[in-house]
């Protein structure tokens, strides 16, 4: 068999798999959103504001509700020291 | 047209044979190229998925949360503030919320204690999140003790466990009766953690927040829009951090690929000279090299992206989740929603396939326009 034919077959296979991944993402996104119904309802019912992803400090558990200077909560000029904090973006005006 | 395709097929045949002559070098390039695309695509898909999940869930968060600030810090807010705000056009519901944090030294984890507005548990009973139940090892009907800030021992009976499907927002929750909450934290009657306002028309949210701020100058209104933006920014920032960490590897690859693509080996130069000597046009040689770039970069892109898709959505991104999700003792168990952003995918395609293809053509053009005799010698 010609090498170009083999390569085209590989490309067709990979291209097909690529399209399948897009279709799969679409289908799974819909079913996953259905699975999120209980989270959505609970958020609405309890008025939740944040994801329970980073629970080690109050300002990482509820970053959207944190004090404006919560990273320096312990005393003035103290550095933020919780590990999650290093991964939370500083306020927009501090980011160059 | 038929002739054109036939020529292209011959060129592809020739290019593959040419690549096979330097099998080791080209295979290692393909492997590293695929790995780089895999890493970039994994981070991109995972972050996109987390952002989507946060956006879907938090789209139902309260439109406005009002916090009282004392000396720049969050303080308890009196219930009278609800009357002080008075009637505001567009506000469908307003209420005080009671919630707070409790650090449990036994398991070294923070819980979020909260009084629900509806289905309030009976005094002495609590409804807990699934991650809480796992870490503390308690199920429905179990009793557990917590010490309050006044060093008083409280015993709670687990009346229910929140659905594991909602763990992403409820993993560390402990829902309790208002009387228990006030006694546990010694919060006087009539004081709340914050106030929430539901606004019917989303276009009026800014106006309502402005009026609240005017009538309650010692408060800070937090809009749902800001909450959503916070999460978008968090995951963008984390994605950026991972990209920075990966940048060393990416730069090494760029140097390797550039060297491979732009620096012609003696053998390649001789090949071009021979092709020209047997009658190939400069255009044919350029097309052949173009195919070489496309074959390598397109294959690497497709393999890299597909492996990344499987890695993120079928193995919960085992390689990156500790960095991108964050960590905690009470960590919710959840799998990312597949969400593919067309624009991001196109950007990844452009930055991985295009530069390599261009880098292969320029040096070849220089060699191809030179006299074959000079090139062969």
Nearest CA in chain B to A20: B306
Asked if the Cβ–Cβ distance from B298 to A11 is below 8 Å, we say yes
Mean pLDDT of chain B: 85
Using DSSP bridges, classify how beta strands B77-78 and B219-223 pair: parallel, antiparallel or unpaired.
unpaired
Candidates 3.40.50.720, 3.30.470.30, 2.40.40.20, 1.10.3210.10; CATH matching B99-190: 2.40.40.20
Q: Which residues contact B24 (CB under 8 A, 6 or more apart)?
A: none
Alpha helix segments (H runs only) across chain B: 2-21, 23-58, 80-85, 130-136, 167-170, 178-185, 205-215, 224-262, 266-277, 282-314, 321-325, 342-368, 372-376
The pTM is what? 0.76
pLDDT at A78 over 60: no
Give me B338's structure tokens. 């597949």
Across the range B63-67, mean pLDDT stands at 91
Helix (H) / strand (E) containing B326: none
For residue B102, what are the β-bridge partners? B111
Determine which of A31-35, B243-247, B358-362 has the lowest per-residue pLDDT on average.
Answer: B358-362
**pLDDT tens digits, one per residue of A50-68:** 888 777 777 778 878 876 6
Question: How close does chain B come to A93, measured CA to CA in Å?
Answer: 13
Domain ranges of chain B: 2-58+230-376, 99-190
Phi then psi for B359, rounded to 5 degrees? -65, -25
> Which residues of B fall within a CB distance of 8 Å from A33?
56, 337
Q: Cα(A82)–Cα(B154) distance, rounded to whole angstroms?
A: 29
Residues 33-92 of A with CB under 8 A from B: 33, 35-58, 60-61, 63-65, 67-69, 83-84, 87-89
Q: Cα(B324)–Cα(B239) distance, rounded to whole angstroms?
A: 7
**pLDDT tens digits, one per residue of B281-299:** 878 888 888 888 888 889 9
Across the range B80-96, mean pLDDT stands at 85
**pLDDT tens digits, one per residue of B103-135:** 888 888 889 999 998 889 999 999 999 989 998
> Which residues of B fall within a CB distance of 8 Å from A58?
101, 110
**Do residues B117 and B176 touch, judged by C-beta distance below 8 A?**
no
Percent of chain B with pLDDT over 90: 28
**pLDDT tens digits, one per residue of B328-356:** 666 777 777 788 888 888 988 888 888 78
A–B interface: beta-carbon pairs under 8 A: 197
Find tokens 């557990």 and name the residue: B144
Closest to B8 (Cα-Cα) out of B245, B279, B283: B283
pLDDT for residue B178: 95
Closest to B347 (Cα-Cα) out of B17, B45, B27: B45
Q: Which of A49, A78, A80 is best to mutate for the B interface (most B CBs within 10 A)?
A: A49
Dihedral, CA of residue B269, residue B270, residue B273 and residue B277, to nearest 10:
-170
Helix pair angle (A3-35, B2-21), 10° resolution: 90
**Do residues B323 and B238 touch, judged by C-beta distance below 8 A?**
yes
**Residue A71 confidence class, pLDDT cut points 50, 70, 90:** low
Q: Which residues contact B318 (CB under 8 A, 6 or more apart)?
A: B311
Nearest CA in chain B to A15: B302
């Amino acid at each position: 068999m010609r090498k170009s034919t083999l390569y085209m077959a590989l490309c067709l296979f990979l291209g097909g798999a690529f399209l399948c991944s897009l279709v799969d993402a679409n289908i799974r996104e819909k079913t996953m959103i259905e699975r999120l119904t209980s989270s959505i309802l609970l958020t609405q019912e309890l008025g939740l504001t944040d994801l329970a992803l980073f629970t080690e400090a109050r300002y990482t558990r509820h970053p959207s509700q944190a004090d404006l200077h919560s990273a320096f909560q312990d005393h003035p000029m103290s550095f933020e020291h919780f590990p999650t904090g290093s991964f939370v973006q500083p306020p927009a005006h501090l980011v160059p | 047209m038929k002739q054109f395709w036939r020529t292209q097929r011959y060129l592809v045949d020739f290019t593959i044979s040419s690549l096979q002559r330097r099998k080791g070098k080209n295979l290692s390039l393909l492997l590293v190229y695929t790995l780089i695309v895999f890493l970039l695509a994994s981070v991109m898909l995972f972050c996109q998925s987390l952002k989507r999940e946060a956006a879907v869930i938090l789209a139902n968060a309260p439109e406005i949360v009002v916090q009282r600030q004392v000396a720049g810090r969050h303080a308890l807010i009196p219930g009278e503030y609800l009357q002080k705000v008075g009637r505001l056009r567009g506000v469908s519901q307003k209420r005080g919320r009671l919630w707070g944090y409790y650090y449990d030294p036994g398991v070294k984890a923070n819980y979020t204690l909260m009084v629900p507005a509806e289905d309030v548990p009976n005094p002495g009973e609590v409804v807990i999140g699934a991650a809480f139940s796992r870490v503390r090892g308690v199920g429905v009907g179990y009793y557990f003790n917590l010490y309050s800030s006044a060093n008083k021992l409280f015993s709670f009976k687990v009346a229910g466990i929140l659905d594991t499907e909602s763990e992403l927002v409820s993993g560390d929750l402990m829902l309790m009766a208002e009387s228990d909450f006030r006694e546990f934290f010694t919060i006087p009657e009539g004081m709340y953690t914050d106030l929430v306002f539901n606004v019917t028309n989303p276009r009026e949210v800014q106006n309502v927040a402005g009026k609240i701020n005017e009538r309650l100058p010692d408060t800070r209104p937090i809009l749902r829009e800001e909450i959503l933006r916070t999460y978008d920014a968090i995951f963008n920032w984390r994605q950026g951090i991972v990209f920075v960490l990966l940048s060393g590897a990416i730069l090494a690859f760029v140097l390797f690929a550039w060297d491979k693509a732009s620096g012609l080996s003696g053998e390649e130069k001789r090949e071009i000279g021979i092709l020209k000597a047997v009658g190939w046009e400069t255009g044919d040689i350029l097309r052949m090299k173009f195919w070489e770039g496309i074959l390598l970069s397109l294959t690497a892109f497709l393999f890299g992206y597909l492996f990344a898709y499987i890695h993120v959505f079928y193995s919960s991104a085992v390689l990156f989740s500790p960095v991108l999700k964050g960590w905690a003792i009470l960590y919710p168990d959840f799998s990312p929603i597949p969400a593919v952003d067309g624009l991001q995918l196109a950007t990844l395609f452009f930055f991985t396939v295009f530069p390599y293809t261009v880098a292969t053509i320029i040096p070849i053009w220089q060699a191809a326009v030179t006299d074959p005799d000079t090139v062969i010698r």
